[in-house]
């Protein structure tokens, strides 16, 4: 056998369809990512302050506030998963 040339098969670029694009665009966790990061950064910053000079009441108030914000974010994510038109909620 002489030198045989093997060609690689051509790969077509697979483009997502409209439904997949909308699912990605209105993904609640991707959309709420800035709010989640902000909340986590606030927790870290406030924890450092609470360690220095925090009373048990300060800890409880901070924990209640963070829990309320996290619960709100989760409610928005759950509500957007439950409806067909996510853009109405997000």
- Select the highest-mean-pLDDT range: 8-12, 39-43, 80-84: 39-43
pLDDT per residue over 21-79, tens digit each? 777 777 888 889 999 999 999 999 999 999 998 899 999 999 999 999 999 999 988 88
Report if residue 59 sits inside a domain: yes
Per-residue confidence (pLDDT) for residue 79, from 0 to 100: 85
Q: Identify the band that residue 87 occupies on the pLDDT scale cut at 50, 70 and 90.
A: low
pLDDT at 1 over 60: no
Per-residue confidence (pLDDT) for residue 40, from 0 to 100: 95
Report if residue 79 sits inside a domain: yes
Distance CA 46, CA 62 (A): 8
Query: Coil, strand, or helix at residue 85?
Result: coil
**DSSP category for residue 86:** G
Query: Coil, strand, or helix at residue 5?
Result: coil
Distance CA 25, CA 81 (A): 13
Q: Which two tokens stand for residue 25?
A: 């665009």
Total domains in the chain come to: 1
Report if residue 10 sits inside a domain: no
CA–CA–CA angle 78, 84, 89 (5° rounding): 55
Report if residue 40 sits inside a domain: yes
């Amino acid at each position: 056998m002489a030198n045989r040339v093997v060609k690689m098969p051509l790969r077509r670029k697979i483009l997502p369809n409209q439904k997949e694009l909308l699912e990605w665009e209105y993904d609640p966790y991707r959309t709420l990512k800035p709010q989640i990061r902000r909340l986590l950064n606030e927790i870290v910053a406030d924890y450092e302050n609470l360690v220095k000079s925090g009373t048990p009441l300060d800890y409880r108030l901070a924990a209640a506030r963070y829990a309320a914000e996290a619960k709100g974010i989760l409610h928005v994510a759950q509500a957007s998963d439950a409806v067909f038109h996510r853009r109405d909620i997000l």
